[in-house]
A and B are shown apart, each in its own frame.
Chain A
């Protein structure tokens, strides 16, 4: 059974940093691209970042480019999102999602339950 478990969310002040983690199990982690998608309270889905199976292809939404960094550790089946210079508009539930293939431009067939990030003073 595919499982994705996010962690690392919390309350943080504007301008500070936070690192999210996603622990994956139940599939060959190093065979698939992975994504972070967020959802602000009461709002729709926003794709944040994606990484190919071997970290060779990485993409970011314009809203986070230069502030967020995605990475993965295939030996530990972990996906990360380093979030710097956080802003109130980054407040959202952050989902980890598995890509349907190795490439980083694909739909996502499994999702975690999300970790909540609140940016507020």
Chain B
């Protein structure tokens, strides 16, 4: 199975600053990569699919990039509601696999 590795595990950022999250696949997943946001006590929400397409309801400060094995989620100016855990998921090969997550916390 494809192993998804996210870094860093925890990212401490001040409100208004830029956050850059990384996700690496053990083999190419082309653009079949999604990002999810999960807040405490809530179900995950689809944030990005197709590596760069923003899902409904998320503002333009969220952007995804990359293809193949290297992917990035960028939050251009962190707002209070953005502090959460972010997971990447590949859906190119069976089984679809998630990364371990990056927790974005307030600095």
Interface residues of A (CB under 8 A from B): 37, 44-47, 50, 59-62, 95, 100, 105-114
Contact present for B94 and A62 (CB under 8 Å): no
In the complex, which range does the number of interface residues on chain B fall in?
20 to 34
Interface residues of B (CB under 8 A from A): 1, 32, 34, 36, 38, 43-46, 49, 55, 87, 89, 91-101
Residues of chain B within 8 A (CB-CB) of A60 are: 95
A59 to B89, CA, bound (A): 16
Contact present for A109 and B55 (CB under 8 Å): yes
Q: Known: A47-B95, A50-B96. Is A111-B89 also a contact (CB below 8 A)? A: no
Contact present for B87 and A44 (CB under 8 Å): yes
7 A-B interface contacts by CB (under 8 A): A37-B44, A45-B101, A50-B96, A95-B43, A100-B46, A107-B34, A111-B43
Contact present for A107 and B46 (CB under 8 Å): yes
Q: Known: A62-B1, A114-B43. Is A100-B95 also a contact (CB below 8 A)? A: no
Q: Known: A95-B43, A111-B45. Is A45-B94 also a contact (CB below 8 A)? A: no
Contact present for B89 and A47 (CB under 8 Å): yes
Q: Please report whether the interface of chain A is mostly helix, strand, loop or mixed according to DSSP.
A: strand
Residues of chain A within 8 A (CB-CB) of B92 are: 105
Residues of chain A within 8 A (CB-CB) of B87 are: 44-45
Chain A residue nearest to B49 (CB atoms) is: A107
CB distance from B75 to the nearest CB of A (A): 19
Q: Please report whether the interface of chain B is mostly helix, strand, loop or mixed according to DSSP.
A: loop
Chain B residue nearest to A93 (CB atoms) is: B43
Contact present for B44 and A111 (CB under 8 Å): yes
Contact present for A113 and B46 (CB under 8 Å): no
Residues of chain A within 8 A (CB-CB) of B43 are: 95, 111-114
Residues of chain A within 8 A (CB-CB) of B1 are: 62
A113 to B42, CA, bound (A): 7
Chain B residue nearest to A64 (CB atoms) is: B95
Residues of chain B within 8 A (CB-CB) of A45 are: 36, 38, 44, 87, 89, 98, 101
A37-B44, A95-B43 known; 8 new pairs, CB 8 Å cut-off, are A45-B98, A45-B101, A47-B98, A50-B96, A105-B91, A107-B46, A109-B46, A110-B46
